[in-house]
Structure 1
Amino acid sequence: MTEPTGSTELEDQGLPLTALAVAAGRAVETSRADPLVADPYASALVVAARSHLDLPTVWPAEPSEAPPLQQPLLLACIYIGMRTRFIDDFLRSDHATMQTVVLGAGLDTRAYRLTWPAGAMVIEIDSANVLDFKAHVLSRLSAEPACELVSLPADLSLPWREALLAAGFEPAQPTTWVLEGLLPYLDSAAQHAVLGEVAALSAPGSRTVIERAVPLPKTDDIEAKLREFSEQTGLPMSELLARADPPDPVELLEAAGWHCSSHSVEELCSSYGRVLSLDPSVGRTAAEQPGPQNQGQDQSRGGFVTAWLS
């Protein structure tokens, strides 16, 4: 998860708050008794950032009794855990490609913690400060990537094709594209541009996993909710989330010949046995049942798109 250049940042490390919060989410998920994700580096990245925010890195014994300021973050950690696992599963599925491009990589550590085919190359694109910080912390941990890792500093709200080609990307070869937590932080025009480049640079055999952006109309109710979340967590969501009508990735990719599937957050809850709630009385089986707690999930999250180019 990342932010475009110019967003609110941590003063001490120059890191986007959202990228750090997502790393905290992976740390929390890793600490659970029934983790969906095993990220041995996430907690160290959060600690090394020395954030002024009180970000959780461990799942508490009684989540509903956590301090009020941490409860929204813990709730977000449930979603981050499912999102991370869903994309991990996609990358580990059949039809892997030898080159993968992660757009808005943030503090993601898949290049280190997943198993990659021999000779695989992963290109991570994000701002230089994010990529440099991550590389520095992982180097101190003596962590080694399990693939050829290329870190490409670039602002994804601006043209980035030439930089990608110069970094060794081969447009004639099939590519796996990962767009996790990126589109919601770009305006509509930039989202169109990114999705257009994915389509234009993909050879047959390519695939992609995309987290959708959610259209947020500029209403008093939405503004109030965003301000409340920002005040509770310290994350500048009211400044970051795009309110313009986002393009539909399915519509754009299918027009370019891709075959697409949509996946709701409710589907992830059912698949991974999670409920977006800190209430211990809400059992896991609730994720499989239609009800108010699940009917509202897709209103606040856009779900995911997976797509393949024959």
Structure 2
Amino acid sequence: MSTTPEFGSQRSDEDEWDIVSSVGYTALLVAGWRALHALGPHPLVRDEYAKDFIAASQDPYLADVLANPGTGDDETAFPRLYGVQTRFFDEFFQSASDAGVRQAVIVAAGLDTRAYRLEWLDGTTIYEIDLPKVLEFKAHVLGQQGAEPKAHRSEVAADLRTDWSRELEAAGFDTEIPSAWSVEGILPYLTDDAQNTLFTRISGLSAPGSRIAVGALGSRLDRVQLEALETDHPGVNKSGEVDFSALTYEPASDPAERLAAHGWVVEPVRNTLELQAGYGMTPPDVDVKIDNVMHSQYITATR
């Protein structure tokens, strides 16, 4: 497996990736941050499989970061913030499950392990949508670890830029019963038109009583901003050679407004600093600065 991510070229409408290139590498990077967060003294979540993905990828940068984790507020900033994000989506699915929703869809699932980590109602099916190479890598690693999902897990190999709804329904998704959807961190990597199509498809598939959670640490972070931040906060950059500005698009519309336009009842939108406060945390100065640059947004809504 290649250990050199490719980030030099700009995105195109039909570009492809695996787990160590382009957008796919960001899933590996976030897994690395979850693994780092689990090493801290008071983690908000524990993803015990995250470190296994890093080991299997043989990525030298992330392997070194895990072997030499920092302990200060600056060095642990991104792992901490992704711990907050992970907790938000964990609680969303747990709440939906507690309410009796037995159908979950993880959009752009990447290296998400909620099917293996969370407690689900009996009879729940979890659909994970992502590109075939990403799903294959995850299945291989979790298989090696002997991991067993805690609910029925169904892989949906599809590109979100195509009509993936056909593959989802073919996998058994039932449009007549409520579902819980997560759209975690993917919107910045989709064009404005692709985002609108995504919400249109989700809305068309969602029965009354369905729920959705949408969120990301930020809409965009370019290398210049990150370098400026690192000047005042040495060690904050835990993204290696990733140039997010080459992978993401400038947002044109607000996802909360899009959901409302599609008939969803949107709850008050929160940012990562507000989530931290709700978890009894006082955000360090570096977290405040990151959010001022990235403009995090976490949304829940019901159908």
Q: Report if the CA contact (8 A) 2:176-2:207 is conserved.
A: yes
CA distance in 2, matches of 1:39, 1:5: 32
* Pair 1:267 & 2:269 matched: no
CA distance in 1, matches of 2:14, 2:191: 13
* Pair 1:28 & 2:36 matched: yes
Alignment of 1:165-176 (within 5 A): 165-176=169-180
Which residue of the partner structure matches residue 287 of structure 1? none
CA distance in 2, matches of 1:51, 1:23: 12
Alignment of 1:125-274 (within 5 A): 125-211=129-215, 224-225=224-225, 233-245=240-252, 247-261=253-267, 262-274=269-281
Flag the 1:51–1:258 CA change in 2: closer, same or farther, 3 A.
same
Residue 91 of structure 1 and its aligned partner are, at CA, apart by 1.1
* Pair 1:77 & 2:79 matched: yes
Q: Report if the CA contact (8 A) 2:126-2:153 is conserved.
A: yes
CA distance in 1, matches of 2:71, 2:193: 43
Q: Report if the CA contact (8 A) 2:81-2:217 is conserved.
A: no
Q: Report if the CA contact (8 A) 1:183-1:213 is conserved.
A: no
1:84 partner SS: helix
* Pair 1:49 & 2:43 matched: no
Which residue of the partner structure matches residue 299 of structure 2? 305
Residue 15 of structure 1 and its aligned partner are, at CA, apart by 8.2
CA distance in 2, matches of 1:161, 1:75: 36
Which residue of the partner structure matches residue 91 of structure 1? 93
Structure 1 counterpart of 2:41, one-letter code: A
Which residue of the partner structure matches residue 63 of structure 1? 72
Which residue of the partner structure matches residue 111 of structure 2? 107
CA distance in 2, matches of 1:296, 1:133: 31
Provide, for residues 235-294 of structure 1, a one-character-per-residue CA deviation record: whole Å limited to 9, x for no partner: 13121111241x3222222223221121112211212244554xxxx6xxxxxxxxx963
Q: Report if the CA contact (8 A) 2:225-2:293 is conserved.
A: no
Residue 96 of structure 1 and its aligned partner are, at CA, apart by 4.2
Provide, for residues 181-224 of structure 1, a one-character-per-residue CA deviation record: whole Å limited to 9, x for no partner: 1111111110111011111111001000001585659xxxx563
TM-score (norm 2): 0.82
Structure 1 counterpart of 2:248, one-letter code: L
CA distance in 2, matches of 1:125, 1:188: 20
More off after superposition, 50-59 vs 90-99: 50-59
Structure 1 counterpart of 2:273, one-letter code: E
Residue 54 of structure 1 and its aligned partner are, at CA, apart by 3.4
Q: State, as a whole percentage, how many aligned pairs show the same letter.
A: 33
Question: What is the RMSD of the two structures over their aligned residues, measured on CA atoms?
Answer: 3.0
Q: Report if the CA contact (8 A) 1:10-1:51 is conserved.
A: no
Q: Report if the CA contact (8 A) 1:32-1:58 is conserved.
A: no
Which residue of the partner structure matches residue 8 of structure 2? none
CA distance in 2, matches of 1:31, 1:170: 39
CA distance in 2, matches of 1:26, 1:293: 16
CA distance in 1, matches of 2:219, 2:94: 30
- The runs of 5 or more residues in structure 1 that have no matched partner are 66-70, 283-291
Structure 1 counterpart of 2:301, one-letter code: A
* Pair 1:294 & 2:288 matched: yes
Structure 2 counterpart of 1:270, one-letter code: A
CA distance in 2, matches of 1:15, 1:223: 16
Q: Report if the CA contact (8 A) 2:189-2:247 is conserved.
A: yes
CA distance in 1, matches of 2:107, 2:196: 14
Flag the 1:146–1:306 CA change in 2: closer, same or farther, 3 A.
same
Q: Report if the CA contact (8 A) 1:208-1:306 is conserved.
A: yes
2:87 partner SS: helix
Residue 53 of structure 1 and its aligned partner are, at CA, apart by 2.1
Structure 2 counterpart of 1:253, one-letter code: L
How many residue pairs get aligned? The number is: 281
Structure 1 counterpart of 2:260, one-letter code: E
Q: Report if the CA contact (8 A) 1:178-1:210 is conserved.
A: yes
Flag the 1:96–1:249 CA change in 2: closer, same or farther, 3 A.
farther
- The runs of 5 or more residues in structure 2 that have no matched partner are 1-10, 231-236
